Chain A
Amino acid sequence: MRISVREWTAKGDPYVWMNAGAVAVSLVMVIGLLALIAGRGLAHFWPHAILEADYLNQDGKSMLLIGEQVEVESVPADQLRSGGVEVPPGVNFMDRWLIKTGNRDVLGADFRWFLADNIRNIRYPEGLMTLERREWGDFKGYLLEVKEGDTTVASGEAAWDEFLVRLDRALDLYDQIHSIEKTEIGSINYTIERMRLRERKLELEGEKTPQAMADIEAIRAEENAKYENLQQDLIDLYAQINRDKIVARAMNGDEVEIELSKIVRAFRPNAMGIGDKIGHYFSKIWEFVSDEPREANTEGGIFPAIYGTVLMVIVMSVLVTPLGVVAAVYLREYATQGTLTRIIRIAVNNLAGVPSIVYGVFGLGFFIYFLGANIDDAFYQEALPSPTFGTPGLMWASITLAILTLPVVIVATEEGLARIPRSVREGSLALGATKAETLWRVVIPMASPAMMTGVILAIARAAGEVAPLMLVGVVKLAPSLPLDGNYPYLHLDQKFMHLGFHIYDVGFQSPNVEAARPLVYATALLLVIVIALLNLFAVGIRNHLREKYKALEM
């Protein structure tokens, strides 16, 4: 059956197809975006093969090239010519490879473009290794020998196994040092600082008695003694960890000595079997979610950011749930349903559409500069002039986001309450229950899934919100976690790290964007997964709820 163009157009089918196209484009965009994030985020942890090749430089000399291929790009030859690269005439396009050469300390940059045509004799020798270091990024090259002090303990083929054994020992020592420095000395410093504040407080209150001072001094002396001990331990540990080093050769032929204490991880991707690679992959993912960031957040993990986000969201939900539910119950069950209530309802609804940055400005001005400064004056006099609550921090961030997400909870709860048929309420009242009892025993349990939905949506929104947080509490690198082992355990006044802000900061404020990019994708992926799960959960509850109450709506 042939259809003529005219007939086809007359039916309006082209328009229908265009509309279908809009849906298809939207779907392709969403799924493409998710796939992009997932692909880039997940690929980063895979141990990529290291290639070795001879590269013909512009001046005709050949040099050794070692690195991972990151990207291939086809460039118009004219662009290259205008950049001063000699391109034979008649060639329109040239491929170029972005290669991660690592060795920032030796070569100056760790990512470089190379013309594909000039890369010759590509090979993947098993002896090539990647060292992840605590500073200067990755090292890529050959292991030559392992040294203890100045004596060589192993070289050649045997060196690798010896190196791994010794690296394990060094990592172990490093963990010990880290735990002493971070946890134990951190706690001592914290106690000493608290003593200083206590002394200052006594002074301000005019109660600086010798008795009180003696107590403070006793605690101080105790902490100082502890500190001396730890200091001694540290010196020992440092001596041990600095024992070993290796000699390795980089791509430009330089032989460099690397101390084992500077190495986080070592592997030879070309020599790894598929099983090893999978193991490596998951261990890298674990490192990513459980470790602290290194090198200005461009390496290592994002644990503090996850921690900060979760804690902030928890504090926020604790605040927003009762407030939102009470407001919704009031609006739906207690307030007289008149014009005023309708206006309030519309206003609350619309607050959800107010830009989040406005809430940030409000939080900064009202909570921090006004409330916070007054709280400091009243309760934290001893710490002044350095502010306690008069500066951005976890508490203000949580409260600001609680206000931001309040409309979400109110609207969802109200919707849930409205869905409960009158007959149910009236039945309860007819049996003699008071209004409060009806509410507590009948209405709220029935509406609770709706409240849950509201709170989950609020959490999903809060977890992804960054703009207001930039004003009221996040930092790029927090020295300590806002919940730790030091009294009072939950530090509401502290600044914290946040996944969303981490993406912004590492992606846009980082000195080495190229190196940081895969981590940003991985962070984004994590955030998307968390938020998608929360949303799907909320949608699931909502659908379940609708099914459940269908029977009641008769």
Chain B
Amino acid sequence: MNEAVVLKAPDIDFDTPQLKRHRNVRALKDKVATVSIGAGGVFVIVAVTLIFFYLLYEVMPLFESAKVEPVAEYTVPGKGKTKFLAMEEQAEIGIRIDDLGAVTFFYTENGSVHSQLNLPIPAGTTITSINEGSAGSQTLALGFSNGSGLVVQHQYKITYPNDVRLITPQLVYPYGEEPVTLATTGSAITNIAVRDNEELLMLAGATDSGDIFGSLFSKEEDFLTEEITLEEQDITMPQGRGKLVSLLLSPDVRWLFTTNEAGELRMYDLRDRANPRLNTEVNVTEETKVVAMRFLLGDISLLIADDQGQVSQWFPVRNEQNEFSLEKVRQFKTDGAKINQIGIEERRKGFFIVSEDGQLGLYNSTAEREALRENLLDKSIRYATLAPRANYILMETEDGQLHFWDVHNEHPDVSWSALWAEVWYENYQEPEYVWQSSAATNDFEPKYSLMPLSFGTLKAAFYAMLIATPLAICGALYTAHFMSPALRRKVKPVIELMEALPTVILGFLAGLFFAPFMEANLPGVFTVLMLIPIAIILFGFAWANLPASIRLRIDDGWEPLLLVPVIILVGWFSFAISPSVEIAMFDGDMRFWLENTAGIDFDQRNALVVGAAMGFAVIPTIFSITEDAVFGVPKHLTYGSLALGATPWQTMVRVVLPTASPGIFSAVMIGLGRAVGETMIVLMATGNTPIMDINIFEGMRTLAANIAVEMPESEVGSSHYRILFLAAFVLFIFTFMVNTLAEFVRQRLRTKYSVI
């Protein structure tokens, strides 16, 4: 009986509410996944690019110019002509001294008077000159119209009653209120200078006629009361030569600088107290008139301003014979209006000028940078002063108004020339590239030249590449092309393992094992370098001449294993004969011989050690990429070449190498990127001295190592901090570009292979 089997679709309802809900949930999940993975992916990529923008964000402020904004304007507090104007640390209270001897302390924000004092000036006289000692010392020398002078200090006491800062200004007379007679002739002192240090106090003054007078006191401290008594010493001052614009004393009271309107700058040597000697006499200007001269912070450099808006910087330079001469170091130009005054910063090698046409200029001497030049006021600015932190400026215009302005001048000490050009630093004989970011003293001139560091980086990378490139490329060529597959499977993981070795271990071995070893066996190192290639060739030739019965026992492609004992033997031999070589050729001590006979300086941790250690780190990088590129060369090309009768080596040189060369290029590039950025090896295997010398036996400091050394100590937001960020940024950009180039080349190559 035949019954038709009727196949019927199972009676399933796909649209039950349950299934519908299920489908909706699945659709929703899909949507959620899409959105969240999209968001997550984009977030990660954005977060990674953040590095670039953050570095840039930290670096940018370095290149911003200064900004000033008005805060307040008021009439000059007090009477008479302003002789001196200054502010205390917080820029809350200002001090003004007028020619009548009145001292007015006032609030800078509105000009209201805090207190007024009178200086103990002799009756019937006026103040004819005021000069400040070292910047920030708050010590003033006053010159009076009767030929005498007085030392006074303005001090500020800070207390916190009820947690509110209260500043109390006061005047102190460290050496009494009795003026010292300077000009025995009794004529007015129109220029005065003061030096006050641990052992000495010196006052020097000049009169209108140009006569120079000086009083020198030695200080003696009473052991019990710690009271200081002054004892006058004899000192003869040089003959005057006409009216002066300015008179300055160096901190050690050895040099006396004078300048007159005609621009004759003289430097006198006062070391011989009885016989002052004229050391240098130069003309600082040609047709213009000198209007002011001041010391820069540190009291080494002289800044000389003229009536054509030019400022030049001079300082004494010592030559090999230990003789000093004044040299012009650099010059700054403004728009040509007469400069009324130069002022200096108390924390940096910076200065400012104010001029006849209401112009303010902010400069930095080391960086040779004009941070700001702006016509702020349409009136002549007669006198101006910067707050100690250089964040406010007070300017007095000719109409008797005081202008209180806010100054934003964070990084004037950084400029293209400061970072990359030779700079003539104070106490240096000539312009040089120097990196020295900090020192113990306050008036230190930071030296931010990135040249020695970049040079060190490239030097380390160069020696590393010198060692790594031939080894890695040759090794990769052999591994990819000649080596038997069985050995290749063993060798590749070993080289990959080499890549994974932490660089801190390589650096440690380089610094603590290889560097002393090399120092002790210097001839051995060079013998190894010479003997190994020779030994390999000789062994190869000898092998080729062995009877076939022995030769054929080893398959082609296993040669490296044969060579391993040869290399070990040659290495051992080289170091074994190293002492004998040292005696035979280098008088028993190669290091000594290098330094004395060959004149080559030798550091234990030198570029050769770094090159070897970093070469070791770079070899696997170059090796793997080259090997991939060579191995990837389509086999039919090789077979074709071999079939046409080319030897394996000819095939390698004429067919494989040209095809794979872009890959090898990118391998070298990536290796270079790694060598440039490597930190730990360089940190541990060099002395980290930032010198510029190509000598293989000397150390270096690289950008990366410098960051590791100095970053933890650097003050957040300071120029130094930002320059270290700049160094990181430079490294980032450099490696990124190099890698991108390499990657690009590699991608092109891959396309090419797929076409062939």
Report A's interface with B, CB cutoff 8 A.
1-3, 5, 8, 11-31, 33, 36-37, 73-79, 82, 92-93, 323-324, 326-327, 329-331, 333-335, 344, 346-351, 353-362, 364-366, 369, 403, 406-407, 410, 434-437, 439-440, 460-461, 463-467, 470-471, 500-501, 503-504, 507-508, 513, 517, 520, 524, 527-528, 531-532, 534-536, 539
Contact = CB atoms under 8 A, between A and B. Distances in A.
B687 to A, nearest CB: 12
Interface in B708-729: 708, 711-712, 716, 724-725, 728
A233 to B, nearest CB: 41
Contacts of B566: 24
Given A25-B471, A358-B728, A76 B579 contact: yes
A536 B470 CA distance: 27
A225 to B, nearest CB: 37
Given A20-B563, A520-B508, A464 B583 contact: no
Contacts of A74: 579
Given A330-B42, A346-B740, A358-B732, A26 B495 contact: yes
A354 B674 CA distance: 8
22 contacts: A8-B544, A14-B540, A16-B482, A17-B540, A21-B567, A23-B478, A24-B561, A26-B495, A33-B509, A327-B40, A334-B34, A346-B740, A353-B735, A355-B731, A406-B44, A463-B502, A464-B502, A467-B708, A500-B502, A500-B680, A503-B505, A535-B500
Interface of B: 26-27, 29-30, 32-34, 37-38, 40-42, 44-45, 47-51, 54-55, 58, 470-475, 477-479, 482-483, 491, 493-498, 500-505, 507-509, 511-513, 520, 532-533, 536-537, 539-541, 544-545, 547-548, 559-561, 563-564, 566-568, 571, 579-580, 582-583, 587-589, 592, 616, 619, 623, 647-650, 652-653, 670, 673-674, 676-680, 683-684, 704, 707-708, 711-712, 716, 724-725, 728, 731-732, 735-736, 738-740, 743-744, 747
A36 B616 CA distance: 15
Contacts of B493: 536, 539
Contacts of A23: 474-475, 478-479, 483, 491, 560
Contacts of A12: 647-650, 652-653
Contacts of B676: 355
Nearest to A5: B541
Contacts of A439: 33
Contact of B564 (A22, A27, A346, A532): A27
A351 B649 contact: no
A316 to B, nearest CB: 15
Nearest to A507: B508
Given A27-B564, A356-B679, A504-B504, 4 more contacts: A11-B647, A331-B41, A504-B684, A539-B496
A346 B44 contact: no
Contacts of A20: 478, 482, 536, 559-560, 563
Contacts of B533: 18, 21
Given A24-B567, A353-B670, A356-B679, A369 B29 contact: no
A28 B567 contact: yes
Contacts of B561: 24
Contacts of A329: 37, 41
Interface centre among B495, B498, B547, B653 (most CB of A within 10 A): B498
Nearest to A460: B500
A445 B140 CA distance: 81
A374 to B, nearest CB: 14
Contacts, number: 340
B268 to A, nearest CB: 49
A504 B496 contact: no
Contacts of A16: 478, 482, 540, 559, 648-649
A79 B588 contact: yes
A348 B44 CA distance: 10
B544 A3 contact: yes
Contact of A330 (B27, B37, B475, B495): B37
Cβ-closest 8 pairs across A and B:
A330-B41, A355-B677, A12-B649, A464-B502, A78-B588, A17-B540, A22-B474, A436-B33
A19 B474 contact: yes
A504 B26 CA distance: 54
Contacts of A532: 497, 500
Given A3-B545, A355-B704, A403-B48, A78 B507 contact: no
Nearest to B500: A535
Interface centre among B42, B571, B680 (most CB of A within 10 A): B680
A359 B735 CA distance: 13
Contact of A434 (B26, B477, B503): B26
Contacts of B494: 27, 30-31
A1 B548 contact: yes
B54 A26 contact: no
Given A11-B649, A354-B732, A435-B30, A330 B740 contact: no
A327 B39 CA distance: 9
B51 A528 contact: no
Contacts of B507: 504
Contacts of A358: 51, 55, 677, 728, 731-732
Interface centre among A23, A24, A92, A501 (most CB of B within 10 A): A23
A347 B739 CA distance: 9
Contacts of A348: 45, 48
A229 B712 CA distance: 42
A240 to B, nearest CB: 42
Nearest to B738: A353
Contact of B583 (A76, A353, A356, A365): A76
Contacts of A327: 40-41, 44-45
Contacts of A13: 540, 544, 649
A349 B679 CA distance: 21
Contacts of B587: 78
Contact of A507 (B29, B500, B684): B684
A4 to B, nearest CB: 10
A329 B39 CA distance: 12
Contacts of A73: 520
Contact of B475 (A22, A471, A503): A22
Contact of B735 (A331, A354, A365, A524): A354
A77 to B, nearest CB: 7
Contacts of A28: 564, 567-568, 571
A403 B45 contact: no
B579 A364 contact: no
A109 B41 CA distance: 59
A354 B736 contact: yes
Contacts of A470: 708, 712
B563 A350 contact: no
Interface centre among B493, B497, B712 (most CB of A within 10 A): B497
A79 B588 CA distance: 7
A22 B736 CA distance: 29
B589 A78 contact: yes
Contact of B27 (A24, A364, A434): A434
A37 B58 CA distance: 42
A30 B725 contact: no
A77 B589 CA distance: 10
B503 A464 contact: yes
Contacts of A536: 493, 497
Nearest to A31: B494
Nearest to B677: A355
B682 to A, nearest CB: 10
Given A326-B44, A362-B54, A353 B674 contact: yes
Contact of A362 (B55, B496, B678): B55
Contacts of A507: 508, 511-512, 684
A361 B471 contact: no
A365 B54 contact: yes
Contact of B512 (A344, A365, A437, A517): A517
A42 B46 CA distance: 47
Nearest to B558: A20
A93 B508 CA distance: 30
Contacts of A8: 540-541, 544
